[in-house]
C-alpha cells in the first residue's frame, strides 16, 4: 500500500540507539548531557502544548514525581531522549469519573509548568502530532504500561527489576529475562462490491462505527485471523485476504495489521458478546459519514488505522 507508513504512530525513523541499553555507564553519561530531554507521562497521558509534545530538561521539578527509572528511547537529532512516568504527582483537583471513560476529556495542569502545557488524553492529539513525537510517545506509553503490568516474574513469581534502560526486566530469583510485550491484532476492510463491513463495540461513543478487528491467536496466520474474526463477530465468510499497512497502537500495546478481505457472503449474524452491531456501509454512505452528515454513523477516530484505511479506500489509493 502506498504511503502505508504515514499512518499515525507509523514511525519516523527514530534512532533507538539500542547499543547503549546494556551499558549503564553510557546511559548515565547520556542522562547527564546538557542536551538530554525527557518526555513526562502521567497516568498514560503525555505532556503537550497545542500539538507539540513537551520535552523537559533533566532535573525539572515535574520529574520529581517519577515512579520508576528513566526509559531510554533513543537519539533524536543526536540528542538523547528519555521518558519518565511521573504518576506520583497528584493534582489538587482530579475528575476520577472522567478518567475511567472510553475517552478522558480532562486535562491536568502541573503547578511547575506554564499555562497551556497539560497532560491530556493521547487520543485527543495523536493525529496532529509530528511523526517523531507520535513515535516517541507511543513507545514510552507502551513500555510504561508493560512495566506496570509485568512487575513479577511469570516463571517464579518474584518481583523482577528493570534493566537495559527500560527494555528488559530480569528476575533476581530464577534469572529469567522478560521482554516488552506487543499483541498482534488484525483490523480488516471487508468489502463486497461497493460496500464495507463495519461494526461497533458497546462501550464506544454513540454512533461510532469502525472496521472489525481482533487478536491473532497462537499458531495462526494473519490471513486466517482475518477470516476467523469476521466470521465469529459477524457471520460473514471471507475469501482472499491481503496486507495493507500496520500501526503500533499504545492502548496498551498492540501492533495493528491492516488488511483487506473479500466477502463471500453478505448475511450478518453478530456475536453479541463480541460486538453490539454490524452493517454494510456503501461508498456513498461513507462519504456522508466522513463529512459528518450521516444521520446515524460516526467514523472511527482520526489517527486510528481504521480511519486511515477507509480514507484510502474512498480515494482509490489502497494499491
User: Could you tell me the CA-to-CA distances from 45 to 80, 126, 250 in Å, in that order?
Assistant: 21, 11, 11
Q: Does residue 168 belong to any structural domain of this protein? A: no
What is the phi/psi pair of residue 169, to 5°?
Answer: -130, 135
Q: Are residues 47 and 125 in the same domain?
A: yes
Which residue is listed with cell 453490539? 276
pLDDT, residue 109, reads: 95
Q: Please, are residues 212 and 197 in contact by the beta-carbon 8 Å criterion?
A: yes
What is the phi/psi pair of residue 226, to 5°?
Answer: -60, -50
The yes-or-no verdict on residue 119 having pLDDT over 70 is yes
Q: Are residues 140 and 224 in the same domain?
A: no
The yes-or-no verdict on residue 299 having pLDDT over 90 is no
Count of structural domains, the chain: 2
Instruction: Return the sign of the alpha-carbon dihedral for residues 288, 236, 306, 205.
Output: positive
Q: Are residues 199 and 116 in the same domain?
A: no
Q: Give the tens place of pLDDT for each residue, 47-93.
A: 999 999 999 999 999 999 898 999 999 999 999 999 999 999 999 88
Q: Which of 131, 149, 167 is the last residue of a domain?
A: 149
Q: Please, are residues 277 and 200 in contact by the beta-carbon 8 Å criterion?
A: yes
> 71 is in which domain, residue-wise?
4-149
Q: Are residues 198 and 131 in the same domain?
A: no
Q: For residue 273, what is its C-alpha cell?
A: 458478546
pLDDT, residue 233, reads: 97
The CATH code of the domain that includes 281 is 3.90.79.10
Q: Round to whole Å and give the CA distance between 95 and 40.
A: 20
User: Could you tell me the CA-to-CA distances from 221 to 4, 182, 225, 242, 263 in Å, in that order?
Assistant: 21, 16, 6, 12, 18
Q: Does residue 155 belong to any structural domain of this protein? A: no
Give the model's confidence band at 258: pLDDT under 50 very low, under 70 low, under 90 confident, else very high: very high
User: Span 199-227, mean pLDDT?
Assistant: 95
Amino acid at each position: 500500500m502506498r504511503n502505508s507508513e504515514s499512518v499515525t504512530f507509523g514511525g519516523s525513523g527514530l534512532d533507538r540507539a539500542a547499543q547503549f541499553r546494556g551499558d549503564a555507564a553510557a546511559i548515565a553519561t547520556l542522562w547527564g548531557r546538557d542536551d538530554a530531554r525527557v518526555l513526562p507521562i502521567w497516568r498514560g497521558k503525555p505532556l503537550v502544548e497545542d500539538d507539540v509534545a513537551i520535552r523537559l530538561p533533566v532535573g525539572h521539578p515535574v520529574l520529581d514525581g517519577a515512579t520508576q527509572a528513566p526509559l531510554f528511547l533513543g537519539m533524536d537529532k543526536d540528542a538523547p531522549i528519555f521518558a519518565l512516568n511521573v504518576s506520583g504527582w497528584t493534582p489538587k483537583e482530579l475528575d476520577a469519573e472522567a478518567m475511567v471513560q472510553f475517552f478522558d476529556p480532562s486535562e491536568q495542569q502541573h503547578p511547575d509548568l506554564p499555562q497551556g502545557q497539560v497532560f491530556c488524553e493521547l487520543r485527543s492529539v495523536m493525529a496532529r502530532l509530528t511523526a517523531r513525537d507520535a513515535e516517541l510517545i507511543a513507545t514510552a506509553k507502551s513500555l510504561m504500561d508493560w512495566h506496570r503490568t509485568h512487575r513479577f516474574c511469570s516463571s517464579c513469581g518474584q518481583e523482577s527489576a528493570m534493566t537495559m534502560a527500560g527494555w528488559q526486566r530480569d528476575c533476581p530469583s530464577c534469572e529469567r529475562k522478560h521482554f516488552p510485550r506487543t499483541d498482534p491484532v488484525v483490523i480488516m476492510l471487508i468489502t463486497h462490491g461497493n460496500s464495507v463491513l463495519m461494526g461497533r463495540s458497546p462501550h464506544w461513543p454513540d454512533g461510532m462505527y469502525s472496521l472489525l478487528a481482533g487478536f491473532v491467536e497462537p499458531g495462526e496466520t494473519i490471513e486466517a485471523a482475518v477470516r476467523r474474526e469476521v466470521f465469529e463477530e459477524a457471520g460473514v465468510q471471507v475469501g482472499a485476504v491481503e496486507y495493507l499497512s500496520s500501526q503500533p497502537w499504545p492502548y496498551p500495546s498492540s501492533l495493528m495489521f491492516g488488511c483487506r478481505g473479500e466477502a463471500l457472503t453478505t448475511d450478518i449474524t453478530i456475536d453479541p458478546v463480541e460486538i453490539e452491531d454490524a452493517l454494510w456501509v456503501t461508498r456513498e454512505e461513507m462519504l456522508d459519514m466522513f463529512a459528518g452528515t450521516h444521520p446515524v454513523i460516526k467514523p472511527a477516530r482520526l489517527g486510528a488505522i481504521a480511519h486511515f484505511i477507509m480514507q484510502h479506500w474512498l480515494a482509490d489509493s489502497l494499491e
